[in-house]
Structure 1
Amino acid sequence: MRNDDVPGSRQPIKSVGFLLVPGFALLTYASAIEPLRAANQLSGKTLYRWWNATPGDKPATASNGVAVLPNYKFGSDARDLDVMLVCAGGNPATFRDQRTFAWLRKLAARGVIVGGISGGPVILARAGLLDGRRCTVHWEHAPALQEAFPRVKLTQTLFVIDGDRITCSGGVGGLDMMVALIARDHGYPLAAAVSEWFLHTHVREGARPQRMDLRARLGVRDEALLKALKIMEAHIESPLSRERLAKLAGVSLRQLERLFRRELGQGVHARYLALRLDRARQLLRETSHSILEVGMATGFASSSQFCRAFGRSFGITPNAARRRDLELATRRLD
């Protein structure tokens, strides 16, 4: 990371706030906050201070049930904050607290560097703080974020620094991002020591991908099969015919079908349909798009066609699935 990537980069970040949204992932939070503690301990100096805030000043319960108590006043002027990082998980699209959005906009207007981790960028986008900005988000939330906020310049990377906006995909990626910030503020030797402290022997750059490649993720090696799967993932809204897929993969349709059944246990059509319906389930959960819009975004010609395919796969209608997911998310927020 260059020193000019973030405003005021030649000055250390002294105060970092964490806004914990109920349902946040504890690992994501720990990966971001623990490097600050390690930097202080290894340097023998107080280089960083950190605070926890929660909507409404209530304890925030992580996705695993652990509750974190706030020690910073929600909605305050935050005159002592340099950075505010929003930690969110679960289904951040259901979080609609206007007080939180207003506070984040207020902090950004005051020059505080505002960021989001895991599902946190979804909340920043809802607050209008990512329009025209490069950002990243956990891969699970990426399709819905792009559909709901087309002005956001979404990447599929570990973390992104765009001026006074910081976004991170979450998980252990928070450690990589904070190590990069420590290197910027206090030099590479301290950052390397922090990384080694956590047995993190290979620090990843922000531009690295979030997910394993298909070869590792699915345990397949055949190049034609891998190529066909990549093409499928890139053509969800406008699905290609099986014949076109085979041609692009460089094999006959008969060969392609044989590869899919042997390596994945299902035919080309079934695999493609499953990918599209999984994407549809994400869009139903994390956007307010109509059933027809979700169906069109995943390659179905009509809402009835989409509903029939969805029902056969999941045993529930799209509307019922959306209601159930919303109820579960609301219970977690409560």
Structure 2
Amino acid sequence: MAKNDHNLSIGDKDCPLRVGFLLIPGFALMSYASAVEPLRAANVLTGRNLYCWRHIAIHGGETAASNGVRIHADASIANVGRLDTVVVCAGGNPQTFDHPPTLAFLRSAARHGVRLGGVSAGPYLLAEAGLLDGYRCTVHWEHIPAFVERFPHLQLSHSLFEIDRDRFTCAGGIAALDMMHALIRIDHGAGVAAAVSDWFLQTQIRRGEVAQRLSPTERFGVHHPKLVETLLRMEQKIETPLAPSELAVCVGISLRQLERLFARHLGTTIGRRYQRIRLERAKVLLRQTTVPIGEIALATGFAAPMHFSRSYRRHFGVAPRQERKAR
């Protein structure tokens, strides 16, 4: 593996930037495509061999994406050859990934000065290998609760992507297009990056710090500002839920007014909607962590595990233990 100064333009006709896409079984195909296609476009549009890339599977052979599409690898982690950059493409439930040789491969790449990145759930594997310590990073919002539980010491943001020295992480999906614009700009200048984005009809290039999710108004499907503010506070106060009267005080209206807003716009009560938010967080933790069920109950505001289990079964139709087995 070759060492590079990634603050400089490093691709030319004779020495293209060598990129390895490490495909973890169940990787997100959209994220992978959004990361690899801009490299091809950069080559085509400039008429130069700026990038070359290889597909890496843990044992070689084929790797299936989350939708079943299979990609044949050019190499395994044991015979990958010289690389300048490695992009970890993962998806699904990264917390269940357990393959020490893969983590050792990533650590070896880091020791050789290889630029390391991850898309979708890929940052989780970089963190598991200890390669994001001291770096800003991000991960898909779906994985954030599990990520925070597992790596509370890391500098995690909720942004679309982060580029910090020789590490780059991306929430995934089409946000990888925005990140690749930034990386191509670093490698080959603004002109090449702009040409690639224009080719993909990317008329709006988002900065890394842009939020991952829709605005609260779009996400909740409501427009009343007091109701939106209340729902946001509910999401922020999961472990120690606020009483309905406390929520009303926080948003500056009476409890009766707040109850009317929930009934009129959401067709439910304050308590039922709050419990739904907490149970949805619990579902994520059950699926993506190995945290004991009793601790998940406490982390989502249920003082008694039995109450948590009954509420969970009533809402989702299965018990928490069954949810964890089904993952």
Bin of the TM-score, shorter chain as denominator length: over 0.9
Partner of 1:57: 60
Tell me the TM-score normalized by structure 2: 0.94
TM-score when normalising by structure 1: 0.92
- Matches of 2:62 and 2:177 in 1, distance apart? 24
Match of 1:199 in 2: 201
Contact residue 63 and residue 90 of structure 1 kept, 8 A:
yes
Match of 2:10 in 1: 12
Corresponding residue of 2:38: 35
- Tell me whether 1:268 sits opposite 2:266 in the alignment: no
Q: Which residue of 2 aligns with 1:119?
A: 121
CA contact under 8 A between 1:7 and 1:163: conserved in structure 2?
A: no
What is the DSSP-based 3-state SS (H/G/I as helix, E as strand, rest coil) of the residue aligned with 1:81?
coil
Residue 331 of structure 1: aligned partner: none
User: Is contact 1:132-1:151 (8 Å) kept?
Assistant: no
Show CA shifts across 1:96-133 (max 9, x none): 11111111111111111111100111111222222332
Give the alignment's Cα RMSD to 1 decimal. Answer: 1.4
Equivalent residues of 2:116, 2:166 under 8 A apart: yes
Deviations 1:148-170 (A, max 9, x none): 11111111000011222110000
| Structure 1 Cα separation of the partners of residues 128 and 172 of structure 2 | 18
Partners in 1 of 2:61 and 2:302 — Cα distance?
43
User: Would the aligned equivalents of 2:220 and 2:228 in 1 still touch at CA under 8 Å?
Assistant: no
Q: Which of 157, 171, 193 is residue 155 of structure 1 equivalent to?
A: 157
The answer as to 2:107 corresponding to 1:97 is no
The 8 Å contact of residues 225 and 259 in structure 1, kept in 2 or not, is answered as yes
Amino acid at match of 1:284: L
Contact 2:104 2:129 in 1 (8 A): yes
The whole-number CA distance in structure 1 between the counterparts of 2:127 and 2:78 is 19
Q: Measure, in 1, the Cα distance between the counterparts of 2:188 and 2:163.
A: 18
**Offset of residue 77 of structure 1:** 6.1
Task: Point out where structure 1 has 5 or more consecutive residues left out of the alignment.
Answer: 1-5, 326-334
For residues 241-275 of structure 1, what are the alpha-carbon distances to aligned partners after superposition, in whole Å with 9 as ceiling and x for unaligned?
Answer: 11010111111111111111222222111111111
1:57 alignment partner, SS class: coil
Instruction: State the shift of 1:86 in Å.
Output: 0.5
Aligned residues, how many?
Answer: 319
Aligned residues with identical type, % of pairs: 50
Q: What is the 5 A alignment of 1:220-239?
A: 220-239=222-241
Unaligned runs of 5+ in 2: 12-16
State the partner residue of 1:332: none
